[in-house]
Structure 1
Amino acid sequence: MQTFCIYLRNANRLIAVIQPTYDKQQALGVKTRPSHCWIDSKTLVVGFWDAVVVCTITVSSISEGVSSVEVKQVEVLYSWKVDMYIADVSFTLGDEICAWKEITVFGMKKSAFHDVAQNECEMVLALLEPEDSNTFSLTTEDRIEMITCDFGNLTAFHLSSLLCEDIYFLLGCQEFIEAQPCSADDRVRWYLENGLLREAMQFANEHEAELQHLDPIDVGKRFLCSLIKQKQFAEAAANLKVVCGRQKDLWEYYVSEFEQNNVVLQLAKYLPVKDPQLEPECYQCVLTAALHNHPVLFYNLIKVWNPDLFRVGAITELALKWVVQGNGAPLSEQDSVAIYRALARLYLYERKYDKAILLHIMLNDKDVFKVIQQYQLFHLVKDDLTKLMNIDANLTVQLLIENAESLPTKTILAQLVKYPKVQIAVLNSLFERNEGEEFVDLAIRLYADHERDLLLPFLRKTHVYDIAKALDICEKKQYVNEMVYLLGRSGNRKKALDLLVNKLNRIDCAIDFCRENDDSDLWDKLIEAAMKRPDHISQLLNTVGHYVNPLTIIEKIPEEINIPGLRNSIVKILHDYELLVQMQYDCLQVLEADNSQLFAKYLSRHKRAVFISSDQHCAICRTFVLQRDKPADSGPVNYDIIVYGCGHLIHARCMYIPHLDERPIMESGACPVCLGLHKGEKS
Structure 2
Amino acid sequence: RCNLLWSAPKTLMIGWVDTIRICVIRKRSQIELQTRDVTEYLVDPVYTFQTEYFISGLGPLDDQLVLLGVPKVCDPELGKAQRPVLMVADYKDCEFCELSTDSLNIRGYEEYSCNDYYLDILLEENRFFIVSPKDIVIASPLDIDDKVKWLTENSRFEKAITVLEEVGGKCANHSVVTVGVKYLDHLMSEHLYEEAAILCTRICKNDKVLWENLILKFAEVKQLRAISVYVPKTPEQALSSEIYELIFYEYLNEDPPGFLKIVQDWNPALYKTGVIINKVLERL
Three-state SS of the structure 2 residue aligned to 1:170 is strand
**Pair 1:104-2:66 in alignment:** yes
Partner in structure 1 of residue 143 of structure 2:
183
Partner in structure 1 of residue 5 of structure 2:
37
Question: Residues 551-593 of structure 1, C-alpha deviation per residue, up to 9 Å, x if partnerless?
Answer: xxxxxxxxxxxxxxxxxxxxxxxxxxxxxxxxxxxxxxxxxxx
User: In structure 2, what is the Cα distance between the partners aligned to 1:39 and 1:245?
Assistant: 40
Closer, same or farther: CA 88–265 of 1 in aligned 2, 3 Å:
closer
Q: CA shift at 1:215, angstroms?
A: 1.4
Closer, same or farther: CA 137–150 of 1 in aligned 2, 3 Å:
closer
Three-state SS of the structure 2 residue aligned to 1:174 is coil
2:56 partner amino acid: A
Q: Matches of residues 240-389 of structure 1 in structure 2 within 5 Å?
A: 240-255=200-215, 257=216, 263=220, 265-271=222-228, 272-274=231-233, 276-288=237-249, 290-291=251-252, 293-294=253-254, 296=256, 297-320=258-281, 322=282, 336=284
The answer to whether the 8 A contact 1:104-1:127 is kept is yes
Q: CA shift at 1:160, angstroms?
A: 1.0
Q: CA shift at 1:311, angstroms?
A: 3.2
Three-state SS of the structure 2 residue aligned to 1:122 is coil
Closer, same or farther: CA 176–117 of 1 in aligned 2, 3 Å:
farther
Which blocks of at least 5 consecutive residues in structure 2 are unaligned?
31-38
Q: CA shift at 1:157, angstroms?
A: 0.6
1:203 partner amino acid: K
Partner in structure 1 of residue 158 of structure 2:
202
2:86 to 87, 104, 125: 125
Higher helix fraction: Structure 1 or Structure 2? 1
Three-state SS of the structure 2 residue aligned to 1:206 is helix
User: In structure 2, what is the Cα distance between the partners aligned to 1:147 and 1:218?
Assistant: 39
2:103 to 136, 139, 144: 144
Which blocks of at least 5 consecutive residues in structure 1 are unaligned?
1-32, 63-70, 94-100, 327-335, 337-683
Closer, same or farther: CA 187–60 of 1 in aligned 2, 3 Å:
closer
Three-state SS of the structure 1 residue aligned to 2:262 is helix
1:212 to 171, 184, 188: 171
Three-state SS of the structure 2 residue aligned to 1:283 is helix
Q: Matches of residues 597-608 of structure 1 in structure 2 within 5 Å?
A: none
**Pair 1:85-2:46 in alignment:** no
Q: CA shift at 1:263, angstroms?
A: 3.7
Structure ranking higher on relative contact order (CA contacts 8 Å, 6+ apart) = 2
2:273 partner amino acid: V
User: In structure 2, what is the Cα distance between the partners aligned to 1:190 and 1:308?
Assistant: 45
User: In structure 1, what is the Cα distance between the partners aligned to 2:110 and 2:248?
Assistant: 71
The answer to whether the 8 A contact 2:71-2:82 is kept is no
Q: Matches of residues 503-542 of structure 1 in structure 2 within 5 Å?
A: none
Closer, same or farther: CA 38–317 of 1 in aligned 2, 3 Å:
closer
Closer, same or farther: CA 86–306 of 1 in aligned 2, 3 Å:
same
Q: CA shift at 1:319, angstroms?
A: 3.0
Three-state SS of the structure 2 residue aligned to 1:315 is helix
Q: Matches of residues 615-634 of structure 1 in structure 2 within 5 Å?
A: none
Partner in structure 2 of residue 155 of structure 1:
115
Partner in structure 1 of residue 20 of structure 2:
52
Q: Matches of residues 364-443 of structure 1 in structure 2 within 5 Å?
A: none
User: In structure 1, what is the Cα distance between the partners aligned to 2:115 and 2:124?
Assistant: 26
**How much identity, in percent, do the aligned residues show?**
22
Alignment TM-score, normalising by the size of structure 2: 0.70
- Count of matched residue pairs: 263
Three-state SS of the structure 2 residue aligned to 1:121 is coil
Q: CA shift at 1:158, angstroms?
A: 0.4
Closer, same or farther: CA 81–226 of 1 in aligned 2, 3 Å:
closer
User: In structure 2, what is the Cα distance between the partners aligned to 1:128 and 1:265?
Assistant: 40
Three-state SS of the structure 2 residue aligned to 1:302 is helix
1:75 to 25, 35, 43: 43
Three-state SS of the structure 2 residue aligned to 1:39 is strand
Higher strand fraction: Structure 1 or Structure 2? 2
1:138 partner amino acid: C
Q: Matches of residues 640-651 of structure 1 in structure 2 within 5 Å?
A: none
User: In structure 1, what is the Cα distance between the partners aligned to 2:40 and 2:77?
Assistant: 45
User: In structure 1, what is the Cα distance between the partners aligned to 2:158 and 2:28?
Assistant: 49
User: In structure 2, what is the Cα distance between the partners aligned to 1:234 and 1:59?
Assistant: 52
User: In structure 1, what is the Cα distance between the partners aligned to 2:222 and 2:75?
Assistant: 54
Closer, same or farther: CA 270–152 of 1 in aligned 2, 3 Å:
same
RMSD: 4.1
Three-state SS of the structure 2 residue aligned to 1:301 is helix
Q: CA shift at 1:144, angstroms?
A: 1.9
**Pair 1:167-2:127 in alignment:** yes
User: In structure 1, what is the Cα distance between the partners aligned to 2:24 and 2:194?
Assistant: 50
Q: CA shift at 1:251, angstroms?
A: 1.7
Question: Residues 16-61 of structure 1, C-alpha deviation per residue, up to 9 Å, x if partnerless?
Answer: xxxxxxxxxxxxxxxxx22222234444323222333444555679
The answer to whether the 8 A contact 1:188-1:204 is kept is yes
The answer to whether the 8 A contact 1:273-1:309 is kept is no
